[in-house]
Amino acid sequence: MEVNLHIYSGIGNLIAIVDGIRNDLHISSKEVDHVYNFHGVNFDQLIILLPPSDPQNDLDVKIFNNDGSIASNCINGARCVGRFIKDNSLLASNKFKVKTDGGLWELDNVENNIFSAAFEVKAEIITKKVEAKGIELSLDCINLGNLHGVTFENKQIDMRFLDIGESLQRNISFPDGINFGVAEKINKNEVNLKVYERGAGETLACGSGACAVAMVGILQEKLVTPVKVNFQSGSLLIDYDRETEIISAQGLTEFIETKIIKIDV
């Protein structure tokens, strides 16, 4: 089976998009892992676009991490899906509703190559104290369709970021793994962020991670919305409305290339 992989970047977060609307495609977790490891295609998440299961929405998506595991949410992926829809004229509107395993995305082409993704999330933070690589951590955990654990910068944590992130994936407190974010506060409206993603490792950017640190900071009154979240290769503007419980992430998207691969697992 030949498949076109459309590679996009959401400020460095590499997303492979597969069009399952105009093509009848069925891709399994095993095949996603095969594409990443056998074909050597670099991506953080792979997203399959599917016809809508509910006529009130524009389409559905299925999200995989590069190890083949299922992801319920991917905000940079959402923004890249919006760009793919516009690039390929799949829908006439600038705004789209997309169903995921973790809820509903509302996508908007703000201007040119800037796209936003908004979704509803219940504001519940659970603080967990865990040990990783001999370091005691206090993680503020929040579920955005995928679980995030956030801590504000500690130099000891920062120096061992990768080891700690990997260790947390095997911690009994997180049987399904966790997205681990370390934030450095610049001021009340800006932070720097590093994220170790479950199923993908350290990424150049993580949209849901940006939403998680902004929400934690806002709810704990460390930050004030909107929050600029800086990654190695770009920034996202996160806006959180506590009354409606709607959070949105806005930033640049970029088309990289299309790869044609043969899947035969």
Please give the C-alpha separations between residue 126 and each of 25, 141, 142, 150, in angstroms, as whole numbers.
Answer: 39, 5, 7, 11
User: Quick count: other Cβ atoms within 10 Å of Cβ 262?
Assistant: 9
Nearest 10 degrees: CA dihedral of 226, 228, 234, 236?
A: -20
Q: Please give the Cα distance from 239 to 221 (Å, whole number).
A: 14
Task: Find, among 166, 55, 51, 148, the residue nearest to 102 by Cα.
Answer: 148
Give the angle subtended at the CA of 108 by the CAs of 147 and 11, to the nearest 5°: 60
User: Quick count: other Cβ atoms within 10 Å of Cβ 12?
Assistant: 16
Q: Please give the Cα distance from 76 to 202 (Å, whole number).
A: 15
In eight-state DSSP terms, residue 198 is T
Q: Please give the Cα distance from 257 to 50 (Å, whole number).
A: 21
Residue 167 φ/ψ, nearest 5 degrees: -65, -40
Residue spans of alpha helices (H) in the chain: 29-37, 75-87, 155-159, 161-168, 207-219
Active site residues: 74, 206
